[in-house]
Structure 1
């Protein structure tokens, strides 16, 4: 079990039957206003973040702020999964911090991990872009610890077991109607990460079960994407004139 601390906190309240029957987790609703449960969950999360920070320093030679928000997107590198959209967000955050360095920014460590298919040249260029952005952001003295960008190479199950329990924000931002419904988003949710994403894949079922108000949902729905595909687009129409 990759998150024994959280498993123990839950078992102390509702027993261990939830391990075989996830519907049992609904019993936690009785503790929604229990400060001790919230405290224990937060404590476990911080311990996991400290462990992963130490792992990164040892294996990736990168030192990060364990008190920063761990903003994570780990999955196969592909255009429809929109790591490029994440890159645009990183650049936007970087520019905002540069413009207002004295503002009280929430420190954020953005981690993107995944592999590109051997013949998928565009995916390899996306990885190259992520690392290039990280080189600039991570060595900027104005930005400092308020924003860090890390590419998690060779992403696999053993690394997932470390990063998922430590994550604060799970990026599930594929274009609506393209995701075949993977399980990574569920693993993040069950380990206490909030989800930001589109109404695509298993995000739809997660929103139905947890309530859409408990996820950060954005972007077009499937019907909107289909309509746009039929209509066609001109890139310049989506850009501000001063871009």
Structure 2
């Protein structure tokens, strides 16, 4: 049995029937758009230096995640709704959200709760997605997502070593890391190594721009 078979069986029993209005590609583009809006909005809030910035950013994400979960449950194809990749993303995002709540309560440092946790969840999510696609006989797509996971690991390491340096554009870099792999998967036929290169270059360029303009 697979790692998520028990959970998948329970979800299949209780989930409403999907309308099937979204294709898998449209679902991926919706996820990319949510990431761009969410992390871009989070960066704007961070730049504003508002005292209630953490709460505002969290409220933005609650709305976005609620909408995206509803979109997934009601309109995504079953091949997406109950896939190992989707269940893995649900697990890592739930963990990151729990850490965010703990950060809001002041139990752990803000940068760990609001940035590191989400870079880590994105990294694990893409690595898991890549592994699932490799196992499903789609190595080109799978290696593209694995490459994105490697870029995420590099970003996470950079943040662990020198977070103040990358903080000025840290959420924009996360937006690029979140969205680009899905957009490249749907809209291009680039080899995996080229997709990885594009994601890495864009993330690095965002960070450099943040350092220059800070």
- The answer to whether the superposition gives a TM-score over 0.5 is no
Q: Which entry has the higher C-alpha Rg, 1 or 2?
A: 1
* Structure with greater contact order relative to length (CA < 8 Å, sep ≥ 6): 2
- TM-score w.r.t. the length of structure 2 is 0.28
Q: Which has the higher helix share?
A: 2
Higher strand share: 1
